Structure 1
Amino acid sequence: MSLVYLNGQYMPPEEAKISPMDRGFLFGDGIYEVVPAYHGKMLGFDAHVARMRDGLAAIEIELDYSGDTWREICDTLISKNPGPNQGIYLHVSRGTDSKRNHAYPQGVKPTVFAFCFELPGEPTNDESTATSYQVSLEQDRRWQRCNIKSTALLGNVMHYQTGARAGNKETILFNAKDEITEASSSNVFIVKDGIISTPPLDNQILPGITRWLILQIVHSHSELKIQERVISKEELLNADEVWITSATKEVGPVVKVDEKVIGEGKPGPMWQRVQTLFTAHKFDY
């Protein structure tokens, strides 16, 4: 039977109870992470935990969980849930208060919740079997602290729904200057004339772990050129390749943005090269 983790205990999901006065429920006041694991081996675990700590510090939630504690929780959930490929969802809310008040309460113990969900399998670098993406494109209307991986994801959900309603799997976003920020649940890369580019990190963009891994891996191969720079909406639409990247997608090739076909309308050669390198080296960092 599948088990979840809640505040120091493992239990069946139907036994996990959280108060409706929990600030995660009332305000989306919390931080989360998703760590992928393939055949029991977690990808980017230390980087995910470091980003969670940064997020908790940014919203002033104090939690005394060490990296070893998080690793033990993840390893236990992997062992107690079926399936070779799993995502481990980690969630920390500020906790339960006696009243609803916008200000941070004092002396409230954080709520810690975690569970596993099945991943379909490791992404492939085979063009014929790879999952390719058709996406929507619209102006970014989320809050101005997107670098914090907050559980308050309504803005992202609404953008994602735009794509889903159009039959697409994602929505890529641009700001008021027509500069690409990210997608509703992914980071964005483009390829033009053999050069890989991704927007630089700032408050508009989540510092994705997969994005970071790609930068590390590509920088270690001198024959490849990669840069962090501002990317315009026009550049995206006229790119040779477009990718969306995340813990579960890895390097996801985009073949169509709204009605605009990207490149030849299929995963490109640079995607195949980088996904191959990512598969070979993703556990080295």
Structure 2
Amino acid sequence: MHGPRLAILDGEVLPADEARIPASDEGFLRGDGVFEVARLYQGRPFAWEEHLARMQTSAENLRLPFDAAQVDTDVRTLLAAAGPVDGAVRVVVTRGGARLALVEDVREQPAAITLATVVYAPTRILDGIKSLSYAANMLAGRLAVEQGADEALLVTPHGRVLEAPTSAFFYVLTGDATLYTPPLDDHILDSITRRRLIGLTGAMERVTARDDLARLDEAFLASSLREVQSVQAIDGRWLTSAPGDRTVEAARLFSRMVAADLGLDA
């Protein structure tokens, strides 16, 4: 099955394609709302408490009324109805007051992908907010595809490498075995998967310039849905290792951590 399967809207479980919010809701009209996506393994959401806490912070920073306990109850009710599925749960709270959660399939990803740099200026006022206003991120991905790549790598007008539109970016420089990732101070998302991987791998934050991309030995993207995904080329330059040793290690450590956290068979 592909696409959303089951939903809960304001406490009512129903087929996802029957969930409706009013056309007047400013979450729809203006992208005024917050969201989170957590990966499901056998019906269990990975790092759900961290996702819920970040959603609370996003709502507070957006001055959006938010009832964390009610959202938590909604998600647990939905997952009980959905059963032991693998996929993702997407949670949305809008300015109009709608609480929506969807159980979705996760698109199968290739083992390695290509990236193209796309110039992007982060919106400072939305720092610390995972809002519904994701049109710029989605457009960046489409622009990368138009360049013949699979996904975008966001770079500021001043040449600072940031992240992919929906994923953190990690890399290893040629001749240096250290795993690096751009710093949060450069206004990237405080990704939960990124945070976990830094703890697992000892990755270091490093201000990353566009010129550094010519010196990469290996790289990968990381997110709730991608987990750890190797990068094989950036702007047409093929990397030496795809996947490289640090990428393989990160994927192994992350998979083992998920299994341990959720009590799954490794």
Scaled by the length of structure 2, what TM-score is found? 0.88
Q: Does 1:271 align with 2:258?
A: no
Give the secondary structure class of the aligned counterpart of 2:194: helix
Residue 86 of structure 1 corresponds to which residue in structure 2? 87
Give the alignment partner of residue 112 of structure 1, picking from 99, 104, 116: 99
Q: Does 1:189 align with 2:165?
A: no
CA RMSD of aligned residues (A): 2.1
Alignment of 1:17-166 (within 5 A): 17-66=20-69, 69-81=70-82, 84-95=85-96, 110-120=97-107, 131-144=111-124, 145-166=126-147
Give the alignment partner of residue 282 of structure 1, picking from 258, 263, 266: 258
Q: Which moved more, 1:73-82 or 1:206-215?
A: 73-82
1:284: how far off? Answer: 5.1
Change (3 A) 1:172 1:29: same
1:8: how far off? Answer: 1.6
- Structure 1: 5+ residue runs without aligned partners? 96-109, 124-129, 220-225
Residue 171 of structure 1 corresponds to which residue in structure 2? 152
Q: Which protein is richer in helix relative to its size?
A: 2
1:247: how far off? Answer: 0.5
Distance 1:148 1:180 in 2: 20
Q: Does 1:248 align with 2:229?
A: no
1:176: how far off? Answer: 2.5
Give the secondary structure class of the aligned counterpart of 1:11: strand
The AA in structure 2 aligned to 1:132 is A
Q: Does 1:259 align with 2:241?
A: no
The AA in structure 2 aligned to 1:269 is D
Greater gyration radius: 1
1:71: how far off? Answer: 3.9
Distance 2:224 2:240 in 1: 25
**Would the aligned equivalents of 1:213 and 1:282 in 2 still touch at CA under 8 Å?**
no
Distance 2:127 2:233 in 1: 25
**Would the aligned equivalents of 1:143 and 1:155 in 2 still touch at CA under 8 Å?**
no
The AA in structure 1 aligned to 2:159 is D
Show CA shifts across 1:147-175 (max 9, x none): 42110111111101112223432100111
Give the secondary structure class of the aligned counterpart of 2:231: strand
Distance 2:5 2:233 in 1: 38
Change (3 A) 1:22 1:269: same
Aligned residues: 255
**Would the aligned equivalents of 1:40 and 1:78 in 2 still touch at CA under 8 Å?**
yes
1:146: how far off? Answer: 4.8
**Would the aligned equivalents of 1:190 and 1:236 in 2 still touch at CA under 8 Å?**
no
Residue 264 of structure 2 corresponds to which residue in structure 1? none
Distance 1:203 1:70 in 2: 30
Residue 208 of structure 1 corresponds to which residue in structure 2? 191
The AA in structure 2 aligned to 1:114 is A
- Structure 2: 5+ residue runs without aligned partners? 262-266
1:82: how far off? Answer: 6.8
Change (3 A) 1:282 1:13: closer
Scaled by the length of structure 1, what TM-score is found? 0.83
Distance 1:262 1:147 in 2: 32
Change (3 A) 1:13 1:279: closer
1:206: how far off? Answer: 0.7
